[in-house]
Structure 1
Amino acid sequence: MTLTKNLTTRRTFLKTTAGTVAGLTAFSSAMAGKLISLESPPVSKISLGVFASYDHAQYLRGLGCSYIEESVGGFLIPKEGDTRFGQNLDSLHSLKFPIWSYVILLPGELKTLGPDANHDAILKRTELALKRAKECGSQYIVFGSGGSRIIPAGYDREKAKQQHIDVTRKMAPLAEKYDITIAVEPLNRGETNFINSLAEGVEIVEAVKSTHVRLLCDIYHMLKEDESPDEIVKYGKHIVHCHIAEKQDRTPPGVKGDDFRPYLRALKKIGYNGGLSIECFKYTDFDSEIKTGIEVLKKQILEA
């Protein structure tokens, strides 16, 4: 009797345990499915910076900026020559406030396309800029340079596009050599008649096929071209850097009161983790306007 009872109890235990394990497995599988289906969107951590002379670096750091953005001609290849670049580099090493990126790679007279295209001179300047950006510990050089890429009246547009792609392809190995990313920047039609949207910028990026040639998203230019924030989501995988300014007069956030939240929301949606630089060229009062601009932009990022 005792043996029979013990065997029965053991069978009951094993049967119950098996059922419990099966139930837990099924529960775990179901929950895994729910976790996958309810997966959180990518986390976005936008770092704020400002395009300005490095003279403003200490002030911008005090305002909570992560970096400053300079120009190729102002910092890397100044008109005063190598001595001035050495002084700039000393300032950077002394202050240790990072320069992540540089704008205005090419002056307007140096043409990427058209009958006066000068690719040899462009590549020489680009290599020097990349080499020096590497010395500075920077990450990006912005390839906007609208004046250099204006298609002349009557010039074949497809030929012009191919010229621009060709020179960008030649830049790519140099960018890889110095491990600096070239960010192709679409500009509004008030500045140039070629590459005026994210879609057109992506055409160049995809034609070049280099991990070191990517896309810049400039919300100011998008606003000028009435380009939807949805384009950021559509082409998000190509975007490595961003600029921003108000639409009417290219003023910092808070001057005219532009609402950037739809565009900032799009950046969050793609899990954007790069820099967002306030890029303006004229200020009534730099210190005051940029302080307000950073405060307004931080608030809109939180609300987006």
Structure 2
Amino acid sequence: MLLGCCVGPRELRFVRDAGFDYAELNAKVTKPSMPDAEWRAIRDELLRNQVPLLAFNRLFPPDMSIVGPDVDMDEIARYLAVAFARMADLGGQHVGFGAGKNRRVPDGFPRDEARAQLARVVRMAGDLAAAHGMWVHFEFFNRAETNLINTVEDAVSFVQELAHDRVDLLVDFYHLVQNGEPVSELTKAGGRIGYVHVADEERKWPGSGSLPVREWFEVLREIGYQGPISIECNFEDPIPELRQAGEAIRRLSYSGGSGR
């Protein structure tokens, strides 16, 4: 099992010292609108930190709709083609597909059509992931952040319908808690979970609050999960808190196995 942490480029140099195996970055670091020559300078700067950049999140810019009447599939295809190529160039293996705001269904728009649009975009991402030796992990979001695919059961059904061999599930325990779903719901996901995000109360680092993080890891163990686990939290003081988070997640989790 690999342990990672969501950070920004400025925190990369502290990731290894904090005991993490890899860093997870916002996909915006790939700057798909930037010419290749300028991008290469940014790539080299990111890689200079010598931290494995195995995972990426927030795949889409917040103003790019992927469902609804204003969707431009050609624009999405162009954007994703560059983003995936550059994530792979950085050594990326895992891409979280959350996009809560992007997939919010506008009032009055047919939900079946929105779901079909979303499926088309996820398949597009899955095809690009396959071409670059990567995985797409589709994430269910709590109801306050989106109105399309909010529960474990919804997400399992969606991924089953897609039947794409490079698309599985991302479980973020924050959304599970916000929805009031019991952790036992994860048994419905079977072997479809490919990535995990974890945080404590108010998106603080695991172990800083009273949420049952150890119980969550026990359930992951019971269902046979051996993939990556990444902390996605808000740091007030990143340098010491990264170290505290690294120590806590290793204490609360388990060892052995490896990520895909």
Distance 1:156 1:56 in 2: 42
Distance 1:84 1:52 in 2: 22
Report the secondary structure of 1:234's partner residue: helix
Distance 1:215 1:68 in 2: 19
Higher helix share: 1
Consecutive unaligned residues of structure 1, counting only runs of 5 or more, are 1-45
Cα contact 1:133–1:180 (8 A) shared by 2? no
Amino acid aligned to 2:220: L
Cα contact 2:11–2:238 (8 A) shared by 1? no
Report what 2:220 is aligned to.
Answer: 267
177, 202, 213: which one aligns with 2:156: 202
The count of corresponding residues between Structure 1 and Structure 2 is 255
From the superposition, tell whether residues 254 and 172 of structure 1 become closer, same or farther in structure 2 (CA, over 3 Å): closer
Using structure 1 for the length normalisation, give the TM-score: 0.78
Distance 1:235 1:171 in 2: 21
Amino acid aligned to 1:118: D
Q: Summarize the alignment of residues 136-151 of structure 1 with structure 2, pairs less than 5 Å apart.
A: 136-151=90-105
Distance 1:243 1:200 in 2: 18
Report what 1:66 is aligned to.
Answer: 21
What do the CA deviations read for 1:136-162 (whole angstroms, capped 9, x no partner)? 221111111111100111222122111
Report what 2:232 is aligned to.
Answer: 279
Amino acid aligned to 1:274: G
Consecutive unaligned residues of structure 2, counting only runs of 5 or more, are 256-260
Give, in angstroms, the shift of residue 212 of structure 1.
0.9
Work out which of the two has the higher radius of gyration on C-alpha atoms and give 1 or 2.
Answer: 1
Q: Summarize the alignment of residues 1-304 of structure 1 with structure 2, pairs less than 5 Å apart.
A: 46-73=1-28, 75-77=29-31, 82=36, 85-247=39-201, 249-280=202-233, 282-302=234-254
Give, in angstroms, the shift of residue 207 of structure 1.
1.9
Give, in angstroms, the shift of residue 84 of structure 1.
5.2
- Runs of 4 or more, structure 1, over 4 Å off, are 78-84
What do the CA deviations read for 1:112-154 (whole angstroms, capped 9, x no partner)? 1111122221121111111112212211111111111001112
Q: Which has the higher contact order (CA 8 A, sep 6+)?
A: 2
From the superposition, tell whether residues 302 and 93 of structure 1 become closer, same or farther in structure 2 (CA, over 3 Å): closer
Distance 1:205 1:240 in 2: 12
Using structure 2 for the length normalisation, give the TM-score: 0.90
**What percent identity do the matched residue pairs reach?**
29
Distance 1:103 1:139 in 2: 12
Cα contact 1:78–1:84 (8 A) shared by 2? no
Give, in angstroms, the shift of residue 193 of structure 1.
1.0
